[in-house]
């Protein structure tokens, strides 16, 4: 996966306090939100998932495009977002153009990281295989929709024409990632079954995690494929960098964020000191509450969803209303 650039334009400085909205069909986009927060801890985030329609990868294109636009437009309005990160490969490869036409804020997409994966596969290829003129080998692990998309085929022709690219549809991994984030027991056999054919490819060098759900299962995937044998590529860090570029979060902005963080820490310390000196009931009132970020969902009552969102600092989900 890598962040899509066409149509990304710097956001207005007047909206600098508004959140960046991260969108996915489910909770897979939390892997992207976590990386954005790691790079920019003081950046306000909001999250929206269309979990009532999960999984996207098995839905028809002509139904998905208007659905994605409706959900995102409603979520942008509800959150007051200054930028939208489409943390879903299926949605990005299908609906980025429609989203950019419907929204006035920057839209940052996620598409399969074919170009960096091809470069890494070439670099990792053994001298013996190069001498035999064998092609570098990498795999795209994604949903059914992403592996069959014409956009994906074009990326392969443009950036990996000299490579052997193995496309694997692994839709069961989406449900497995969702289950785990909801706190349900892991089912490693689901991961093993989804990767069985891929694990048998001896020449495999690199695997693209072509769905934002899949980094949540990275340890299991590495275990099945062989951590030392196969490199996994995901684009969370690249997307976070692209957010910074689009929002003009340069060195000066980073310094400002650090100043805000230091000021917030000083306020928290002062509040704690006051609390320790006050009566117990007063102390309870003045202690700062943990920072939570807005979360929206098309099915806010889904069991375990609040647990998954809380794992990345998001508040309990609010129901998102939109014209269906």
pLDDT in tens, 160-190: 999 999 999 999 999 999 999 888 999 999 9
pLDDT in tens, 225-242: 998 889 999 988 889 999
- Please check whether residue 58 is in contact with residue 91, taking contact to mean a CB–CB distance below 8 angstroms: no
The strand pairing partners of 21, in sequence order, are 46, 84
Instruction: With CA atoms as reference, report the closest residue to 45 among 14, 21, 29.
Output: 21
Percent of the chain predicted with pLDDT > 70: 81
Per-residue model confidence as pLDDT tens digits over 142-164: 998 889 888 899 999 999 999 99
Between the alpha carbon of residue 166 and those of residues 3, 147, 184, the distances in Å are 21, 10, 31
Lowest mean pLDDT among 42-56, 73-87, 135-149, 266-280: 266-280
pLDDT in the model for residue 275: 43
DSSP code of residue 136:
P
What digits encode the pLDDT tens for the residues 94-109?
A: 999 999 999 999 999 9
Choice among 115-119, 280-284, 299-303, 313-317 with the minimum mean pLDDT: 280-284
Mean pLDDT to the nearest integer, 203-208: 94
Q: Can you give the pLDDT at residue 149?
A: 87
| Chain centroid offset of residue 101 CA | 22
So what's the pLDDT on residue 284? 35
Estimate to the nearest angstrom the gap between the alpha carbon of 72 and the chain centroid. Answer: 15
Q: How far from 307 is each of 27, 45, 213, 312, CA to CA, in Å?
A: 11, 17, 16, 9
- Mean pLDDT estimate for the chain: 85
Q: What is the pLDDT of residue 57?
A: 78
Greater confidence, 278 or 15? Answer: 15
**pTM (predicted TM-score):** 0.78
> Other CB atoms closer than 10 Å to residue 228's CB: what's the count?
6
- When pLDDT is cut at 50, 70 and 90, the band that residue 12 belongs to is very low
Residue 24's DSSP bridge partners are: 49
Specify the pLDDT at position 186. Answer: 92
* Per-residue pLDDT, 55: 87
User: Residue 5: what pLDDT?
Assistant: 46
Read off the pLDDT of residues 290-323 as tens digits, 9 standing for 90 and up. Answer: 446 899 999 999 999 999 999 999 999 999 988 7
DSSP-derived secondary structure letter, 88: -
Q: Is the pLDDT of residue 286 over 60?
A: no
Quick one: average pLDDT of 15-34? 91
| Residue 118 backbone phi and psi in degrees, to 5 | -65, -45
The residues carrying an active-site annotation are 88, 211
Residue 283, pLDDT above cutoff 80:
no
pLDDT of residue 22: 98
Mean pLDDT of 231-259: 78
């Amino acid at each position: 996966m890598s962040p899509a650039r066409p149509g990304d334009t710097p956001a207005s400085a007047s909206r600098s306090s508004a959140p960046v909205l991260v969108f996915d069909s489910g909770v897979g986009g939390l892997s992207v939100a976590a990386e954005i927060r790691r790079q920019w801890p003081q950046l306000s985030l909001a999250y929206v998932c269309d979990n009532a329609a999960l999984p996207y990868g098995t839905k028809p294109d002509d139904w998905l495009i208007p659905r994605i636009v409706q959900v995102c437009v409603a979520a942008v309005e509800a959150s007051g977002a200054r930028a939208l990160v489409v943390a879903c490969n299926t949605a990005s490869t299908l609906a980025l153009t429609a989203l950019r036409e419907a929204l006035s804020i920057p839209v940052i997409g996620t598409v399969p990281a074919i170009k960096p994966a091809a470069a890494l596969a070439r670099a990792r290829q053994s001298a013996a295989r190069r001498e035999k003129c064998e092609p570098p080998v990498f795999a795209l692990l994604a949903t059914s929709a992403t592996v069959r998309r014409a956009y994906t085929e074009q990326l392969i022709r443009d950036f990996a024409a000299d490579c052997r690219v193995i496309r694997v549809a692994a839709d069961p991994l989406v449900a497995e990632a969702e289950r785990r984030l909801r706190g349900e027991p892991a089912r490693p056999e689901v991961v093993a079954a989804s990767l069985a054919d891929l694990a048998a490819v001896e020449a495999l060098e690199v695997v693209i995690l072509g769905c934002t759900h899949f980094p949540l299962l990275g340890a299991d995937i590495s275990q099945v494929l062989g951590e030392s044998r196969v490199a996994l590529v995901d684009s969370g860090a690249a997307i976070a960098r692209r957010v910074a570029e689009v929002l003009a979060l340069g060195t000066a902005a980073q310094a400002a964020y650090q100043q805000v963080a230091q000021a917030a820490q000083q306020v928290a310390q002062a509040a704690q000191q006051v609390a320790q000196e006050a009566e117990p009931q007063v102390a309870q009132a003045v202690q700062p509450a943990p920072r939570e970020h807005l979360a929206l969902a098309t099915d806010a009552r889904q069991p375990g969803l609040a647990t998954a969102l809380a794992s990345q600092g998001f508040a309990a989900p609010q129901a998102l209303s939109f014209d269906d």
